């Protein structure tokens, strides 16, 4: 693997924050983020492209990696570091063909069957979720619970695993202890736009106090 998954994996959201992806990236980088996913479900491709291009410029200058949710085409046009794909997006195999060996490709799964299939694909990490109830995703799959993280870890050995969905300051350490390499967090990190940096730092402080 050519990159290390951070234990805290921030994902941007313009509806929650009411600020641009670029502004969120600035704040997240100040908070210590090294790897960020841009997730945009509502802006036009053009508006998202412009915002993401700005975000990428900021990230590049700080050696921070940016991957794009859903859109291989935009990832390619933006020369982003990779993509995160869902079950209904173009496949990871297609993404690998288009983006090349060095791209970071993540893939979402919602149960152990999908996860078992995912680890055979040309991906850099698999995500599983929603672990807990989430309000951020429209029409989320069924909540899988923390137990599935333990089962997922047993099933896939040391394959890189991200847990997502309803993860917050009060439960992320439990999710990491259950076997996730990384916890992807949206609303708990972004709820107050002017506190994003402080929030990420406080998560990191919590993390530094324990051995996981
Ligand atoms: N995939 C599964 S749950 C989810 C996604 C994108 C949303 C996670 O958002 P939050 O606010 O951290 O629950
Ligand atoms: Mg998707």
Which residues 6+ apart lie within 8 Å of 35 measured at CB? 3, 5, 6, 9, 64, 65, 67
Q: What are phi and psi of 41, to 5 degrees?
A: -110, -5
Distance of CA 144 from the midpoint of ligand 1 (Å): 12
Residue 106 pLDDT: 98
| Tokens standing for residue 153 | 């870890």
Evaluate whether 108 touches 127 at the Cβ level (below 8 Å).
yes
User: pLDDT for 117-167, tens place per residue?
Assistant: 999 999 999 999 999 999 999 999 999 999 999 999 999 999 999 999 999
Distance of CA 47 from the midpoint of ligand 1 (Å): 23
Q: How far apart are CA 165 and CA 75, in angstroms?
A: 23
Q: Is residue 137 lining ligand 1, measured as CB closer than 6 Å?
A: yes
User: pLDDT for 8-49, tens place per residue?
Assistant: 999 999 999 999 999 999 999 999 999 999 999 999 999 999
On the question of pLDDT at 184 being above 70, the answer is yes
What is the average pLDDT value for the chain, to the nearest integer? 97
> With a threshold of 0.95, does the pTM exceed it?
yes
User: pLDDT for 42-90, tens place per residue?
Assistant: 999 999 999 999 999 999 999 999 999 999 999 999 999 999 999 999 9
On the question of pLDDT at 2 being above 80, the answer is no
> Which of 164, 171, 199 best tests ligand 1's pocket when mutated (most atoms within 8 Å of CB)?
164
pLDDT bucket at 1, cuts 50 / 70 / 90 = low
Which residues 6+ apart lie within 8 Å of 139 measured at CB? none
> Which of 165, 166, 187, 200 best tests ligand 1's pocket when mutated (most atoms within 8 Å of CB)?
165
């Amino acid at each position: 693997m050519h990159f290390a998954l951070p234990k805290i994996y921030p994902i941007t959201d313009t509806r929650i924050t009411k600020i641009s992806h670029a502004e969120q990236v600035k704040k997240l980088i100040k908070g210590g983020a090294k790897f960020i996913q841009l997730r945009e479900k509502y802006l036009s491709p053009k508006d998202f492209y412009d915002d993401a291009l700005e975000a990428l410029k900021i990230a590049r200058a700080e050696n921070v990696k940016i991957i794009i949710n859903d859109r291989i085409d935009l990832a390619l046009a933006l020369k982003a570091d990779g993509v995160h794909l869902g079950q209904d997006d173009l496949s990871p195999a297609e993404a690998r063909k288009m983006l090349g060996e060095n791209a970071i490709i993540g893939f979402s799964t919602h149960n152990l069957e999908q996860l078992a299939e995912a680890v055979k694909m040309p991906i850099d990490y698999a995500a599983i979720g929603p672990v807990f109830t989430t309000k951020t995703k429209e029409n989320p799959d069924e909540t899988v619970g923390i137990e599935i993280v333990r089962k997922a870890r047993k099933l896939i050995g040391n394959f890189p695993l991200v847990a997502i969905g309803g993860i917050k300051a009060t439960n992320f350490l439990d999710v990491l202890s259950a076997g996730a390499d990384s916890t992807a967090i949206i609303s708990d990190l972004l709820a107050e736009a002017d506190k994003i940096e402080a929030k990420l730092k406080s998560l990191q402080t919590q993390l530094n106090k324990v051995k996981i």
